[in-house]
Structure 1
Amino acid sequence: MIDIPSVVGVDLFCGVGGLTHGLEKAGINIKAGYDLDDSCKFPYESNNHSKFIKSDINELDLEEMRSECLSGDYSLIAGCPPCQPFSSYSQGSRRKRNSEDWKLVGSFGSIVKNIGPDFVILENVPQLVNHPIFSDLLICLEGYSVDWRVVQTADLGIPQNRKRLVLIASKVCEVKIDFECWKFERKVVKDAILGLPRLEAGDSDPFDRIHAAAGLSSKNVERIRHSRPGGSWRDWPSHLLADCHRRASGATYPSVYGRMSWDLPSPTITTQFFGYGSGRFGHPDSDRAISLREAALLQTFPKEYKFLPDDRPVVFKTLGRQIGNAVPVQLAYLMGVVLLRSLRRAVC
């Protein structure tokens, strides 16, 4: 049997390490993750064989990166540039505030062009393909074999409905993202979170601080008790409806204040999943929104993944952002498998 040469890489915009963790699981050696958010350092380094480097993507020392982190038989640059301006959840002033973030996709492309790694992996929102910056990125990848797809993660054995753009590029072999030829076992909410200790709203598991659920007002407790799995606020008696539900525009948001169903994939895990009123994030049968740990499991992080040191308090907003923005670990793993299979076909 011929040994596969090592693929060594870096993860740009690494966050808490979803992309790194999946690529490592596939057999790729990620030497470093780069991100501006230093609260990601503990989870990134505690769960991965990689160092966290706090850095602005536009101020990286590319020569240092090349010499210290890309020294394997084959090199890889992977990343998921922030995608807020393309998100369907970005509205109004929030969209305007994040309007500059698309430039980070261009920065990613510039780094790839300057470094010239053997492989490139990108994960992002599907709306990116309709933006001119995506064409610019493809120009930066001239000379590579490139394949990209918009995939639905629920079709890939992941217990979550989440459409994502995945791109893999190679200088050394042809690549093809052929997920349609693979056989995946369908996964649903109960596969990920059934069996965790029961919680009430505002409770946390004494043995797992991340298995914590946000509190609910008395009115929202009454609302969720009238909500059925897969239903919405339309299931409620009229005295529980908010003013926005009574307006015609409210009819366009049927999933707000909804419960998940045990036997279906979850909705897309956003950064606001811990709030019952932020989407269909109600637990299937407990009167609360899903916990932080449950969201991480739906993002396919391992149950033992550490997000906080013992002396740091649980802050829902911070952890919600980190978990919701992460690349699902299983999706990252599948991209790593595609890359390594392509390399194996070329060298064996």
Structure 2
Amino acid sequence: MADKPRKPGRPQGEGPGGARRGRPAAGRGQGAPRFSTGGGGFASVDEQLRMSLERGALRRRRARRHAGAGVGVPKAAKPEKRARQPQRLSPAEMEVAERLQKVMARAGVASRRHSEELIQAGRVTVNGRVVTELGTKVVAGRDIIEVDGRPLGQPEEKVYVMLNKPKGYVTTLFDPQGRPKVTDLLEGQVAERVYPVGRLDYDTEGLLLLTNDGDLANGLMHPARKVKKTYIAKVRGVPGPAKLKKLQEGIELEDGPTAPAEVKVLEVRAPNSATISLRIHEGRNRQVRRMFAAIGHEVIHLKRTTLGPLNLGDLPVGQWRPLTSEEVAALYKAAGLRLGGKPRAQRAARRRS
């Protein structure tokens, strides 16, 4: 086969630089080693070092030139990105908006749940406008809040009252049917606005705590605290051991199973009735009556005798009394709260002159 003709202008075996590959280029020292410059040619060690120093100097000059324009420096070092000193806020900016029912509870109007009832009933105005939305935010001390036309002022002195609720009274602050309220029993005797902690049915008697201490009320009613209450129920018929065991283990109701209860038979009048003590920590609507109905026994009479550490004792039906300092401290402990200062029982319920 004939040899391939060579390309003119480049000797065979030479690279782009004109030198033969792997051999020194013409005109250069034979003893000096050379390295590739990255551009297709070769450079000596001295030349390589010189070029490296020049490139480093060039990078430093570019960094100094660009530093004034904010180029090539970390963002944190840029003048416009530096952390600003906190500015002092004006009193208006320091005001914090809170939910309306929370402000009402702190001011002693009612518990948060009862405050929500007042809001939904249209009895609360904010800056002259009736408010029925539970998510309404207000700023205490700036917004004008009125309940039944009465302005919401500074938080009142804390009041703690134990009432022996009679039958025929409701434990809500507003009743569309116009039935008597438990607060009517205190009207004209307690200066502060108090509200019931929890509820008792219309036909149920017994111990009811009333206060304007929202923190204590919420703590006592919180399911996590499991504050126990004792009820004395007179039922029709006499439940047998199997039925009483169901109460102890928990009854399946339409809104879910109940927690285990402490059950004790106090009196039996066979075959007509039995009086049973039931101790639970839940507070569902008409729960005790529904529990006995689930085992086939109607409740004839129901009375609550204890609430946590409180005991009704011999307080007459329809009467009330202020709690002692020791009783208030015990309630705080049951609610998992710390008592800021020792309450003064003499001022627990102030009578109007």
TM-score range for the pair, normalised by the shorter chain length = under 0.3
TM-score for the superposition, normalised by structure 2: 0.23
The structure where helix makes up a greater share of residues is: 1
The structure where strand makes up a greater share of residues is: 2
Higher relative contact order (CA 8 A, sep 6+): 1
| Higher gyration radius (CA) | 2
